[in-house]
Amino acid sequence: MKNCKWCDKNFESDISYQIYCSEQCREQATKEKIAQRYIQSRRQKRKGKNRLCKQCGEKLSIYNDEPLCNKCVINPNDVKKALKQIKGMTNGKSK
């Protein structure tokens, strides 16, 4: 009895090196691996490069995939607007 490395299902196999229960699981795992490698190489390329936030000019982390820093991804004006809306709704309902 073996455990599929992708979906964790038990399966039987005569092939000793088979680690996935099905073709689909193998394909999914391969895709995931390629995606991981792609993200890794993109991060490697960013090393030593100064990427700045498009909005506030703050230095971006190499792990940040956005052109904006964490603070600017959430627009403070949008947050304020949303809060106002929520307040308005609760005020209307209160007794």
Contact criterion met (CB below 8 Å) for 92 and 86: no
Counting contacts by CB under 5 A, is residue 60 touching Zn ion?
no
* Nearest-approach distance from CB 5 to Zn ion, in angstroms: 8
* Nearest-approach distance from CB 43 to Zn ion, in angstroms: 19
- Phi-psi sector, 69: left (phi>0), alpha (psi -120 to 50), beta: beta
Instruction: Using CB under 5 A, count the residues that bind Zn ion.
Output: 12
Counting contacts by CB under 5 A, is residue 7 touching Zn ion?
yes
Counting contacts by CB under 5 A, is residue 55 touching Zn ion?
yes
φ/ψ of residue 83, rounded to 5? -65, -40
Q: Binder to Zn ion among 34, 35, 39, 56 (CB under 5 A)? A: 56
Counting contacts by CB under 5 A, is residue 3 touching Zn ion?
no
- Rounded Cα–Cα distance for residues 71 and 67 (Å): 12
- Phi-psi sector, 64: left (phi>0), alpha (psi -120 to 50), beta: beta
Counting contacts by CB under 5 A, is residue 69 touching Zn ion?
yes
Residues near Zn ion (CB under 5 A): 4, 6-7, 9, 21, 25, 53, 55-56, 58, 69, 72
